[in-house]
Structure 1
């Protein structure tokens, strides 16, 4: 397990939900505070989740006036849970505060490989079945639920952030694909850049759909190879995502 990274709305929702059902918490307490993996240590005011190796996004839910780096020594992020209100909000503190903490790991240890573990998790979050997933690669029209599933998978493997390809991660993946000569690698990256610049949509889910569709239409063979390459995910991507309050 690793310290919780609140890098998705569904995690805020899960914390708000379990705060009213978990017997391990003292029921007389109305407000609960737990350490997360969030920190800006070493890069002031640029917060990231250490466990997930991702920067905070604009939708991070902070307490009013937070983060404030009081005393110029608050570099660690805790999450506050208000039970009656169902609110889950972040604040920065110095590292000597005595809080409990929240850990996470993936809730699907029986998945056959890293790719399937992520697919299984995103399927649970967005209520997507295996038949829908099998038809996904050739689909030309998706509902919002399926678009969000795409975004969830891309986000989980580090290829998509905010509905855009992460160029460095895509480049590394393309380098690992044997069919890529230096010339084809540059052409592939040019397609990635072109799709990144052209994508549009109402939210991250829409953007992720149009981005992946652009890549599939402009370079179908490369896109297919990238999908296959997901089978080689490393264990540090797999081992997370189930809450445990400690």
Structure 2
């Protein structure tokens, strides 16, 4: 498992395993380095950016397997043993954006009975392969993520016959109970807006504490625009605050 560990300039209060977006196909650690550094600085958490394998060379479930391996490694204090600046036994958060948000919540479900997570944090996550929500209709031709783009990503990630597998479409899982508390951000002008909202409601219905935040005036991928868009900067700050609060044992109010 390869990755990049980003440390705050103070003693870390927790460890965040972060899975970047890119439709399970695109994205490098360098592409998401600035976002990871801002999250580490603002949350006072160590952030492990996971360099998981990408489709189509490594289709489902390769990236998911890498995410689970990374989480296992951190949970077993393997990372702490490798890094002198990291104490063992720190609270653990799983997080990601877009396809990485999908991987984050799926791996949280896979390990729910053996690894304690303080938080699962998802930024405009992909949760439903059916692509049939009103937000898909409103923003079908978005230049940031279109319906055609989404179909292309899903087709390269996994055969269409298994898209309904909850490891690909977590919204379709029969039972979401027992998952860690969740913090979910959605962007107003994003095809994934409605499925992010629906997933938050499903989690809440299954007894999972959820904070849902809707950021106005922005679209998919906005988190990496925090240096130029005020709502994006607010999103990153609120995400970091949620990480810090969870690692300090303070549960935020559910919405």
For Structure 1 versus Structure 2, the TM-score category normalised by the shorter chain is: under 0.3
Please report the TM-score for the alignment, with normalisation by the length of structure 2: 0.27
Answer with 1 or 2: which has the greater Rg: 1
Higher helix share: 1
